[in-house]
Amino acid sequence: MTTNAQTVTETERTWWKEAVVYQMYPRSFADSDGDGVGDIRGIIDHLDYVASLGVDVIWLNPVYESPQHDNGYDISDYRAIHEEYGTMADWEALLDEIHARDMKLIMDLVVNHTSTDHEWFQRSRERDPEYDDYYIWREGEDGGPPNNWESFFGGSAWEYDDERGEYYLHLYDTSQPDLNWRNPAVRQDVFDTIDWWLQKGIDGFRMDVINLLSKVEGLPDGDPESEWVGSEHFIDGPEMMGYLEALDEQVLSNYDVMTVGEMPQLTVEMAREYAGEDGPLDMAFHFQHTKLDYGGDERWAVGEWELSELSEITRRWQQGLAGDSWNAVYWENHDQPRVVSRYGDPDEYRAESAKLLGTYILTLGGTPYVYQGQELGMTNAEWASVDDLRDVDAINHARELLEDGADSYEEIRDVVGYRTRDNARTPMQWDDSVNAGFTDGDPWIQVNGNYERVNVAAQAASDSVLNYYRDLVALRNDHDALVYGDYEEVARDDEAVCAYTRTLDSERLFVVLNFSDSEIPVDIPEVDGGTLLLSNYDEETRAAATLAPYEARVYTLA
Ligand code: GLC
């Protein structure tokens, strides 16, 4: 249950609890030099836009040196900037420009694995004694890999390396070998790297698949039926908490920074340990609400989703982390298809449903994260040919589905096209000029076909999705109850409408959201005498006793 609403004292106020985070995918944000790839100078050119949203923190996806097999999640040098993105001097200018606008910068930390191009891996495969044990090398078994673990991107998690004559573990792409965290030298090298970035003045980290660092001794076979074979032996492993506690104690606690862990299969119970009052991290991303539209447990199948299930997940996390732990709230990131195309209506009610979905995450407890383009109501794109895909995950899966008997791409196009991470990675839509104003060159990935309609320049009007997001951020800044208040659900198990209150002291806000494309009568005794603070419809509609399709309203109650 929630605790009793209390006043927030000045000492309890925490900047990262009050912050709204904007996530930027550098490859797709803005290209300043016409090579078709977004870059740091492009970001600097658009910082006034980001500041105009009212957000406080920017999370920048990886910009480190990388062969880009997984768009920067395969790092070959942790202390260098990827050439296509610019130089270290550009990055330093970016940090200064962000700080000059009173915003903060958190960087992506990818230390479960490196790239096979990383010097550590090169020396490890040569059995250089210093690096021999930096990765997880094993002999094969019975002419095959050492165990049955699977890569998240499909196929075995093991790759045979001719040079070393052994298999190495890669929980993601073959180009992303897992570091051996049991080796103290690896931990020290990683801690030093983290400290090096913190000394440069950044404000924290988003930590990539950070609950995967500890693998169970002996690397036993996993349950062959499980969703990700082997995961019971490498998610939240035995040393996990110890590694993060050491990181916190030795490095993080020396700085006033925020940390958010990305944690596959995270439960409320584990989140309380990782991000409770004494936990090593500030908050963590879970994935439960991003799986509602899976077909069964299957990621590469599309199923119907239900609002009651979403509400149940929200209730579990909002109430489960009330008190001394903190939520990270999001719909989109660079790995998720566009939310309007999943839980909204991208055709008839694109703008309305985008605003409704925005209302949800910006009125819940926890720190909200908004992904670039979400504030415009960007949608999934069409993926007409397998050649249009850039996402290593989608390409691998398309190949697998074809090998497993699909006749042609046509047959798997709907599911691959719906789920591919490329949906989030199409260029940011700035205006209706060629390539949406993203680049003068050939974009590295196709631009969404709707860019002439959906773009920043076209959303100058006060009733645009963009300006509604600005209003939402402002609303959150104006009402402590939206940040620190208790969450209480009002309507339960409804398949169309969800409603909840956020209460702090004498202030009680009431949020009601119609997730359907039908008109729904509102019978809300709570709002009698309350004042409407925000709605995504015009004045006449918002005053009616009926909720319009995808209508969202936020009231303050007397
Ligand atoms: C995380 C990243 C994703 C990446 C994977 C491997 O899930 O968000 O983009 O592919 O980790 O690093």
Ligand 1 atom 12 nearest Cα: 73
Which residue type sits at 438?
F
d(CA 20, CA 50) in angstroms, rounded, equals 12
Per DSSP, 207 falls in state E
Q: What is the pLDDT along the chain (558 residues), one digit of tens a residue?
A: 344 445 788 768 999 999 999 999 999 999 999 999 999 999 999 999 999 999 999 999 999 999 999 999 999 999 999 999 999 999 999 999 999 999 999 999 999 999 999 999 999 999 999 999 999 999 999 999 999 999 999 999 999 999 999 999 999 999 999 999 999 999 999 999 999 999 999 999 999 999 999 999 999 999 999 999 999 999 999 999 999 999 999 999 999 999 999 999 999 999 999 999 889 999 999 999 999 999 988 889 999 999 999 999 999 999 999 888 999 999 999 999 999 999 999 999 999 999 999 999 999 999 999 999 999 999 999 999 999 999 999 999 999 999 998 899 999 999 999 999 999 999 999 999 999 999 999 999 999 999 999 999 999 999 999 999 999 999 999 999 999 999 999 976 789 999 999 999 999 999 999 999 999 987 776 777 789 999 999 988 888 889 999 999 999 997
Q: How far is the CA of 460 from the centre of ligand 1 (A)?
A: 34
Question: 59, 172, 336, 390: which to mutate for ligand 1, most atoms within 8 A of CB?
Answer: 172
Q: How far is the CA of 70 from the centre of ligand 1 (A)?
A: 8
pLDDT value, residue 18:
98
User: Does the beta carbon of 70 sit less than 6 angstroms from any atom of ligand 1?
Assistant: yes
User: For the packed helices 350-362 and 465-478, what is the interaxial angle rounded to 10 degrees?
Assistant: 20
Q: How far is the CA of 138 from the centre of ligand 1 (A)?
A: 24
- Nearest CA among 417, 484, 426 for reference residue 455: 426
Atom of ligand 1 nearest to the CA of 110: 12
Long-range contacts of 389-392 (CB under 8 A, 24+ apart): 389/416, 389/420, 389/422, 390/71, 390/422, 390/425, 390/444, 390/445, 391/420, 391/421, 391/422, 391/425, 392/69, 392/70, 392/153, 392/173
Q: How far is the CA of 73 from the centre of ligand 1 (A)?
A: 6
Per DSSP, the three-state class of 169 is strand
User: Does the beta carbon of 110 sit less than 6 angstroms from any atom of ligand 1?
Assistant: yes
Of 70, 150, 166, 262, catalytic:
262
Classify each residue of 183-208 as buried b or exposed e, where b means 16 or more C-beta atoms within 10 Å of its C-beta: beebbebbbebbbebbeeebbbbbbb
d(CA 541, CA 537) in angstroms, rounded, equals 6
Sheet holding 104-109, edge to edge: 283-285, 258-262, 204-207, 104-109, 57-60, 21-24, 367-371, 328-330
**How would DSSP label each residue in 8-47?**
PPTTT--HHHH--EEEE-GGGT--SSSSSS--HHHHHHTH
User: Does the beta carbon of 335 sit less than 6 angstroms from any atom of ligand 1?
Assistant: yes
Q: How far is the CA of 95 from the centre of ligand 1 (A)?
A: 24
User: Does the beta carbon of 209 sit less than 6 angstroms from any atom of ligand 1?
Assistant: yes
pLDDT value, residue 3:
44
Of 74, 161, 203, 208, catalytic:
208
Q: Is 551 a catalytic residue?
A: no
Classify each residue of 29-57 as buried b or exposed e, where b means 16 or more C-beta atoms within 10 Å of its C-beta: bbbbeeebbbbbbbbbebbeebbebbbbb
Around Cβ 97, how many Cβ atoms within 10 Å? 18
User: Does the beta carbon of 178 sit less than 6 angstroms from any atom of ligand 1?
Assistant: no
Question: 23, 28, 335: which to mutate for ligand 1, most atoms within 8 A of CB?
Answer: 335
Structure tokens at 482: 């939206």
User: Does the beta carbon of 293 sit less than 6 angstroms from any atom of ligand 1?
Assistant: no
CA distances from 220 to 217, 226, 230, 320 (A): 8, 14, 8, 33
pLDDT value, residue 296:
87
**Residues contacting 351, CB < 8 A, separation 6+:** 377, 464, 465, 536
Question: 112, 209, 234, 263: which to mutate for ligand 1, most atoms within 8 A of CB?
Answer: 209
Q: Is 410 a catalytic residue?
A: no
Around Cβ 28, how many Cβ atoms within 10 Å? 27
Ligand 1 atom 2 nearest Cα: 208
d(CA 548, CA 550) in angstroms, rounded, equals 6
Question: 23, 208, 332, 392: which to mutate for ligand 1, most atoms within 8 A of CB?
Answer: 208
How many residues does this entry show for the chain? 558
Handedness of CA 287, 500, 474, 271 (dihedral sign): negative
pTM tops 0.75 = yes
